Amino acid sequence: GESVGLHLPTLSVQEGDNSIINCAYSNSASDYFIWYKQESGKGPQFIIDIRSNMDKRQGQRVTVLLNKTVKHLSLQIAATQPGDSAVYFCAEKRECDKIIFGKGTRLHILP
Amino acid sequence: DVKVTQSSRYLVKRTGEKVFLECVQDMDHENMFWYRQDPGLGLRLIYFSYDVKMKEKGDIPEGYSVSREKKERFSLILESASTNQTSMYLCASSLGVSAGGASNSPLHFGNGTRLTVT
């Protein structure tokens, strides 16, 4: 069946290095993708989004890349900081504004 | 800033009880959603609504119902709670097309209700 998923459940990165979190999606009709960050005890928080007519979008320290050919989405975090420790979810918009989430990747920042 | 408020942070109920989870948003958003979050399974969509009195089933609607009598409030109802409904429940809202915003708008989440059914 169709799904939004992540390649790795846990990612450990040295503080100051760049982090790359990957996501695969299978619904070729999806036209909008979002990355969320969830810290312990809180609801998911919006980080950055991208529409299917783009292949790259940059925010503050974050970049999202979209490769529609292979249905792949990635989130790059530059100069990772301790406050970036969280679970990261990708999500896609399907019909009728239905937003479907992946299972999440936990990002650990090593001192 | 958008605020999505879930009425209870923690809730403990007994098997067979009828349970109401309440969610209110203050930004006049058209769309509202209920998800449950379980370890290893991520967020799964239970129900969503894109207008008052309208509802759509998500991926796991069984055992749940919803109510959207007012635009700002979206209630999740467990008709007869069971232990497999022990979970973290997350409510979210987003702009809809009819609000004049783009159809592509991110969800804004509440901080969740952790429900335990014993």
The dihedrals phi and psi of B103, each to the nearest 5 degrees, come to -70, -15
Contact at CB, A43 and B111, closer than 8 angstroms: yes
Report the relative pairing of strands A62-67 and A56-58 from DSSP bridges. Answer: antiparallel
pLDDT in tens, B94-106: 987 644 445 678 8
* Domain hosting residue A54, numbered range: 4-110
- Which of B43, B48, B95 is the best mutation test for A, with the most CBs of A within 10 A? B43
* Nearest in space to B108 (alpha carbons), one of B78, B61, B72, B83: B72
- Residue showing tokens 């409510």: B91
Of chain A, the percentage scoring pLDDT greater than 70 comes to 93
Count of beta carbons in the 10 Å neighbourhood of residue B106: 22
Tokens of B45: 């969509």
- Residue showing tokens 């069971």: B82
Closest chain A residue to the Cα of B6, Cα to Cα: A43
How confident is the model at residue A95, as a pLDDT? 75
The structural domains of chain B, with segments of one domain joined by +, span: 4-100
List CB contacts (< 8 A) between B47 and chain A: none
- Given a contact cutoff of 8 angstroms between Cβ atoms, the answer to whether B58 and B48 are in contact is yes
Contact at CB, A98 and B110, closer than 8 angstroms: no
Provide the number of structural domains found in chain A. 1
Assess B4–A contact: CB distance below 8 Å, yes or no. yes
Contact at CB, A93 and B4, closer than 8 angstroms: no
Contact at CB, B106 and A46, closer than 8 angstroms: yes
Fold of B4-100: Immunoglobulin-like (2.60.40)
- Beta partners for residue B88, in sequence order: B37, B114
CA gap B77, A68 in Å, rounded? 38
Assess B45–A contact: CB distance below 8 Å, yes or no. yes
List CB contacts (< 8 A) between A23 and chain B: none
- Arithmetic mean of pLDDT over chain A: 89
How confident is the model at residue B2, as a pLDDT? 63
CATH number for position A15: 2.60.40.10
pLDDT in tens, B105-114: 889 999 999 9
- Residue showing tokens 């320290």: A61
Helices (H), chain A: none
Residue B67 or residue A4, greater confidence: B67
How confident is the model at residue B97, as a pLDDT? 64
Ranges of residues in chain A whose predicted pLDDT is under 70: 1-8
How confident is the model at residue B100, as a pLDDT? 46
Amino acid at B41: L
* Nearest in space to A44 (alpha carbons), one of A98, A4, A103, A1: A103
Contact at CB, A99 and B59, closer than 8 angstroms: no
